Structure 1
Amino acid sequence: MASLNKVFLMGNLTRDPEVRHTPKGTAVGDLAMAINMSYKAQDGTEKEEVCYVDVVVWGRQAETCRDYLSKGAPVFVEGRLQLDQWEGPEGEKKSRMRVRADRVQFLSRGGGAGGGA
């Protein structure tokens, strides 16, 4: 059976990008995004929800995000869901779902397209 793992997100960064390096020197960047959604409830009132998503970016793209993005910056992310699993300090199993970015596009503050990483 065929499967598909593809994610498209557009939102704003909730903090400055953080970059670290693997032992072999590869840059790994962490982005935190907020995606706002407005809708009309059954009673006719306007409602807003926010979805917070963690994004990981690799290589030169991570460094470009660090150099040009900051908290509040609007971005478009294309990637895939990734499940990270590890053991905590007490040996407990931990996991989290996040997006592994294939492409991060910088958007202008007005919401239009800007540069890309």
Structure 2
Amino acid sequence: MDRDNAWIREKAATSLNPSQVETTLIQLSKKWAANALPFADVVEQFPLGEAALLHLLAVSSICATRLTQDPDSLLWLCEPEICRAPRGYAEMLNELYKLAIGRVRPTGGLAGDSVVSPAPD
């Protein structure tokens, strides 16, 4: 765990907002699924570059919060066809909604905190 924290501190230190990036990376690493790609690999091999991901976490507390609430969304963003595709607000909202719907619980609620409100009945 100390090795992971040292790696996180090293990554955060290079960002515009080290404390926010460090906090976000720690929270993400704690919630990261054991059967997912290794967290460090996802960060270091982000399709738009590690620096772009760390910059996003540094400048957008909203994005950082949403990713920590739903770590699977980071895996979704890592898909090259997703992160590199040009899309407008409506298209992005639709994609996020489809992602959230994929995690609907049997009780009808969304698993975890959703970044998108469910469609009206």
Structure-1-length-normalised TM-score: 0.25
The answer to which structure has the higher helix fraction is: 2
Structure number with bigger Rg: 1
Structure whose residues are more often strand by fraction: 1
Q: Which has the higher contact order (CA 8 A, sep 6+)?
A: 1
